[in-house]
Amino acid sequence: MNKAMESMDGFRVSRFQFMVYGTISLVIALWCYYKWNRKDINRFAAKLKGPPSYPIIGSGLEFLGTPQQVMESFKKITEEYGPEPFKFWIGTSFGVTIFKPADLQIVLNNSKCLEKSNFYKLFKNALGEGLLCAPVDKWRLHRRIISPLFNSSLMKQFFPIFHEKNENLMKKLSIEVGKTQPFDLWDYIAPINLETICQTMMGYNLNTQLNIGTEFVHSMKIVSELNVMRIYKPWLYPDIIFRIYRKCIGMQNIYKDLHKLPDQVIKEKKETYAQKKITNRTDALDDSFNGEKHSKVFLDKLLALNEAGANFSNEELRDEVVTMMSAGTETSAVTICFCLLLLAIHQDIQDKVYEEIYEVLGENDELITFEDTYKLKYLEKVLKETLRLYPTGPVFLRELQGDIKISSSNYVLPKGTTCIISPMITHHNPELYPNPWLFNPDNFNSENVMKRHKYSFIPFSSGPRNCLGSTYAMLSMKVLVSTFLRNYSVHTDTKLSDIKLKMDILLRSVHGYPVTIRSRDRRYNRNQKS
């Protein structure tokens, strides 16, 4: 009996040992397979310098802290290792920084570099797979459908909306006139931008839904910080861990809050579309401004295409609407706030902008037209210099689908590499822009522009996958800033050195955009005209 038990015990130990050895062997085999598949990347990585990295977490320890500390760490690392390409491990993903204009031109125009990095999947809860985050196949299809909506004819038709919203903004700002206590520009600019994008691109008047609009702006800001934080904290990659984390910090419903407005807009527009079909209108979705027929806007066009067989799912519709709302609201709002703050700091430049506005628009109360915006050359330089100093998208990531050779170092970037592209770093290269942290609109004088490589300035990215709304953004910003300065002068005690930056999806000011305002001469002030 004892011998039998000993035999059984021996069998149990042998089976346990077999399982342990088998597991160890499997892990070793998988590791060897992983290393073999990445042999080209590992061989190339050995050639490059870069910040310290560790298994699993990569260089994540370099980015512990607040969004401001993350921004400061990023600047410090690029100053230490750039501007030559250097390696950067994001978790287990191998990245190479691309800062030089000639290299950027190669990478951004190469068909092997159209795919967004896998890290954009971390944004799926917020932005879904709209144009910003979509994989290449979906991006090509949706871009082909959406790009015709951004034509000059349609841009002209938006001007009555621009005027209406900006006049509302001027009225709201009037309560701040003459106060000595600064207010934050963001509190006024972001909501009016959301109202504008909802009406121009969605055909949806948000005036009566201000609470849900405010909730959208607030939620988008929080979501941006959460999503970018995940990139450099690999322990939050699994969705289940991230959901637990959100619950622990009281943000479990943040994505639901973010999607309330887009869902409501789509629901109401679908109902309107169905009702207009019932009434047998010739063009179910043509909107009118002041009684005139106008082309279909963004969401109307998507619904019409869906009816014609484009087969956008409800989720795909929402993805595009959220992307349009967030990009159209936040990117322009951040740039306008930075621009007005910079003009408040630099009164001499503000005076030059105002003089140009006066020369183009005169002393009468004429509204700015589409054609007028192209005459505001100095204002355009100011906006471009703002985007150079503070590009709204400080970093974006592309994943190579094949090997690419870059010119500055003759490196061949292997397939699977994540290209880390930073307009923030390129725009602050002293070889391209002397005194790069100073505000100098003359950087965009024609002679200075001609001296630089055209990829020295990429605030809206570039190449086939550039920002589709760049023309819309520049037009809307010119209209708002010129309207603002016709009505008010802007002032601040903030110095340029006081501006501290933080990084999430967008680049923002840590301390907001504090200013005071004073009324201009009444002949330029529509609201005070007798």
Provide the b/e sequence for 150-186 (b: ≥16 CB within 10 Å). eeeebbebbbbbbbbbbeebbeebbebeeeeebbbbb
At position 50, the amino acid (one-letter code) is: G
| ω into 83 cis (within 30 of 0) | yes
* Residue of 485, 197, 522, 473 whose CA lies nearest to 368: 485
At position 268, the amino acid (one-letter code) is: E
* Residue of 310, 272, 299, 319 whose CA lies nearest to 123: 319
CA 432 to chain centre: 24
Longest dimension (CA), the chain: 113
Compute the half-sphere exposure of residue 222: CA atoms within 13 Å on the CB side of its CA.
17
* DSSP state at residue 363: S
* DSSP state at residue 442: G
Residues shown for the chain: 530
**Sign of the dihedral defined by the CA atoms of residues 128, 131, 135, 137, in that order:** positive
CA separation for the pair 246, 252 (Å, rounded): 5
Question: What is the DSSP annotation of 295-331?
Answer: ---HHHHHHHHIIIII---HHHHHHHHHHHHHIIIII
Q: Residue 502 — φ and ψ, nearest 5°?
A: -135, 155
CA separation for the pair 501, 422 (Å, rounded): 15
339 is in an annotated binding site: no
**465, 139 Cβ separation under 8 angstroms:** yes
At position 300, the amino acid (one-letter code) is: D
At position 420, the amino acid (one-letter code) is: I
Point out the annotated binding site.
Answer: 467
Annotated binding site for heme: 467
